[in-house]
Amino acid sequence: MIYDAVLCVSEKHKDIALLAIRSLSYFSDSRVIFVITAAKNFEFFERNLDPNIPFKLLDEDEVVPGLTIRSIQNLLLKYFGDCRDCGWFLQQFLKMGICHSSELAENYLIWDGDTLMLQKIAFFGSNSEVFVVPNQQLTDSYFTIMEKIVGCGRQVDFSFVSEHLMVKKIFMEELINLIQEKSSESSWFEYIVASLDRWQITNRRGFSEFETYGNFVAWKHPNHWFCRELKCSRYGSMMCGHVPERFDLFWLMVNGYSFVTFEKWMGPSKRRLAANKSRNWLTYQLSQLVKCSRFLMAVDQISPLS
């Protein structure tokens, strides 16, 4: 099944996103990796990514008509007088709105810019069903806003919120069109913002593009999803620091992780991080004696020596 990958990357996530893009290029079967970021970040990626990697940079202010960081700031100020989370909303709406791009494949993998793929992952079953990694942390307010803007509530007994999700373009277009029908006097993304309340804004519990899309598809297109478990972690920063080194990547691979996220807000203790780094370094050094080539080749591609 042909698919593209889509990442939204902020200024503060450039370094880890560089590794994320390389990891997708090496392990995934994505046709093109679309990197949505501010135009000022283009030079960084052009300079540091191998030209053989099939990536395309998109200016975040030009992906969806009328959707920019400034427009989201203005909407949040208009309805709530608080625009601190404008970037959080912007990246969600961009991941949705890019479905209208004629350049995009019929399926696209939304992949978090701070998450590294560490082994090959299948996303489609033999009957074209889409694999999803179920999350058991449910946020009630996501379903409240979903009922308001879409007309459906929770459809499954798990959460779709994850570090990645495979999207079918026509299903995302269907979802956006449904929301747009309810907002004849404004854009679909303004309608979402206007439907939130102050508590949801303050606590960042108002809207999830993954939860909304996942439950909408389960409602309209039953049997599309198939749950499967993968070894993964959100705590990469606590295990290896905010940007892992070559020996950290090796340790994560040999320990069977499919993907790991490196979140900026997580700060590891210096003592624990030092112990982890020593363990990872020793594992890496010993591996070179036994020539563990499969993992070493992957490390070379994701974090090449300078």
Q: Per-residue pLDDT for the chain (306 aa), expressed as one digit of tens each?
A: 999 999 999 999 999 999 999 999 999 999 999 999 999 999 999 999 999 999 999 999 999 999 999 999 999 999 988 888 899 999 999 999 999 999 999 999 999 999 999 999 999 999 889 999 999 988 888 999 999 999 999 999 999 999 999 999 999 999 999 999 988 789 999 999 999 988 777 666 789 999 999 999 999 999 999 999 999 999 999 999 999 999 999 999 999 999 999 998 877 788 889 999 999 999 888 876 655 667 888 998 998 875
- Output the six-digit token pair for 306: 């300078």
Listed by start position, the domains of the chain span 127-230, 232-302
CA distance 6 to 11: 17
pTM: 0.94
Residues present in the chain in total: 306
Model pLDDT, residue 33 = 98
Angle, alpha carbons 297-16-226 (nearest 5°): 75
What is the C-alpha separation between 64 and 25, in angstroms, rounded? 25
Residue among 74, 77, 57 at smallest CA distance from 66: 74
